[in-house]
Amino acid sequence: MKNFMDAVASKLSKSRISRFIYRKRVEEAAPDFRRKNIELRQGEEFKLLSSGRIDYDSLMDGFIKNKYSAIDPLWNCQASEGLSVINLREHMTLLWSASNEFAQVFEGWTIVSENLRLAASINDIFADTDLQGDSGWCAPAAEYESANSELSEKYLAGFIVFSLTWTAYEGAVDIISEYHKEIKQQRGARGREIILKLGENNSFPHIRNFVYMATGTRSAEDKFFKTPEMRRILRAGSLAGVAAEHLREFRNAVIHGDIRKPEPLDWGEGSKYIPDDDPGISQFYHNVRLLLIMIQILMIEEHRMNEIHTKWILDEDWSISTEDAIRSMHVKRPNTEQKELDLHVII
C-alpha cells in the first residue's frame, strides 16, 4: 500500500495535483486493481474525479484526505453558529420527512417532498474549468484553474440545491393557492402575497436572524428596500413577507444571470482567500435556509385549513402538536439522544 501511495505522490506537486494515473504505474503499485477486474488498455488514462482535491501533506503521511467537498458551504456552514438551530441538511431532511407524510394525506405534496429529497441527497459535485487541459505547463495558471474549479463546484452545488428547494417552495405555493384563489399573481409574487396574508412572523424561531443574514448579502447600492412592494411589506411589519419578496427577487436574479459565479480573489500557495466565505457562495446557504422556513409556513396553513388531528411524537411519553413541531423544526432539541421527529397523521 505504501508503494502505491509513493507512486501516486510522485505524480503530484503542491501547485497542482495530477488528474490521471496511467496503467503502467497503477499495475506496478497496485496489483489489487487487476484482481478487481479493472482493465486499463495500454496508454489509456484512468481519471480520478477527486484527485485534484487530495490533501498533499496527508498523502505523504500515508493516507488520502480530500481538502474540501463542493457541498461544504451548505451542509457544513457555520454561519448560524451561536443560534440554537440544526444543520441545514438535517433541517431539509426533517422537512422532507414531514412533506412526505403530508403527501400521504394531502393532495399535491409529492412535488414538495421529491424536490427536497433530491436537494438533500447531493453529496458532492465535480467541475474542471481547465477545459483544454494545458494549464499544467504554467504553475500560476494551474493554481488559478484549481481555485476557479473549486469556486465553480461550490457555486454549482449552491445553485442546484437552491433551485430544487425553490421548486419545492413553488409546489407548496400551488397547493396553498387553492385556499386563497383571490390572489392571482404568478407563483413567486403569489407566494409572497399568501405568506403576507397569513401573518406568520415572530412566531418562527430565529426568522429575524435568517432574514438579516439573507438580505445582508445585498450591496449598499441595492434598491430592494425602496421598491413599492417592499415598502408595503415593511409597513405591514411582516418579516416573513420580507423574506418571501427577497427570495422571489433572488431567484429571478439567479435564473436570469444577474447573480453569477464569483471569480477567485487570490490563489496559490500562501493565499488567504477562503471560497466558502465569498458572498457569492455563502448566499446560497442563507437563501436555502429561508426557503425552508417559507415551506414550513405553508405547511402550517395546509394543516389549519384541513382541521385534521395530528401529533408529532418524540418518544412514548411526550408529543407536541403538528403546528408547533413544524414551526420549530429547525431548532435544536435539548436532548440530542432523542429520536428524530416522526409525523403521525390521524384521520
Question: What confidence category does residue 18 fall into, taking pLDDT thresholds of 50, 70 and 90?
Answer: very low
Q: CA 28, 31, 32, 33: dihedral to nearest 10 degrees?
A: 70
Query: Which grid coordinates are listed for 123?
Result: 453529496
Side-chain-facing half-sphere of 235: CA atoms under 13 Å: 7
Partnered with residue 176 across adjacent β-strands are: none
Of 198, 214, 194, which Cα lies nearest the Cα of 206?
Answer: 214
Mean pLDDT of 168-191: 89
Q: Helix, strand or coil for residue 76?
A: coil
Give the angle subtended at the CA of 63 by the CAs of 158 and 140, to the nearest 5°. Answer: 55
Residue 38 contacts residue 57 (beta carbons within 8 Å): no
Task: Provide the terminal-to-terminal Cα distance of the chain, rounded to the nearest Å.
Answer: 60
Question: What confidence category does residue 305 fall into, taking pLDDT thresholds of 50, 70 and 90?
Answer: confident
Q: Please give the pLDDT value at position 307.
A: 65
H or E, element range at 313: strand 309-315
Q: Tell me the pTM.
A: 0.79
Distance CA 203, CA 199 (A): 10
* Dihedral sign, Cα of residue 29, residue 34, residue 37, residue 39: positive
Partnered with residue 346 across adjacent β-strands are: 309
Residue type, 201: N
Q: Please give the pLDDT value at position 289.
A: 96
pLDDT greater than 80 at residue 284: yes
DSSP-derived secondary structure letter, 249: H
More confident residue, 276 or 42: 276
Query: Which grid coordinates are listed for 322?
Result: 403538528
Residue type, 129: T
Distance CA 95, CA 85 (A): 14
Mean pLDDT of 116-122: 97
Distance CA 30, CA 4 (A): 6
Least confident of 31-35, 121-125, 322-326: 31-35
Q: Please give the pLDDT value at position 49.
A: 59
Q: CA 194, 213, 325, 119: dihedral to nearest 10 degrees?
A: 80
Residue 296 contacts residue 89 (beta carbons within 8 Å): no
Question: What confidence category does residue 11 fall into, taking pLDDT thresholds of 50, 70 and 90?
Answer: very low
Query: Which grid coordinates are listed for 260?
Result: 453569477
* Dihedral sign, Cα of residue 38, residue 44, residue 50, residue 54: positive
Query: Which grid coordinates are listed for 67?
Result: 481538502
Least confident of 97-101, 219-223, 238-242, 308-312: 308-312
H or E, element range at 153: helix 139-177
Least confident of 184-198, 216-230, 278-292: 216-230
Distance CA 339, CA 324 (A): 17
Structure confidence by residue, pLDDT tens digits, 21-36: 333 343 444 444 443 4
Question: What confidence category does residue 308 fall into, taking pLDDT thresholds of 50, 70 and 90?
Answer: low
Query: Long-range contacts for 38-45 (Cβ within 8 Å, ≥24 apart)?
Result: 45/20, 45/21
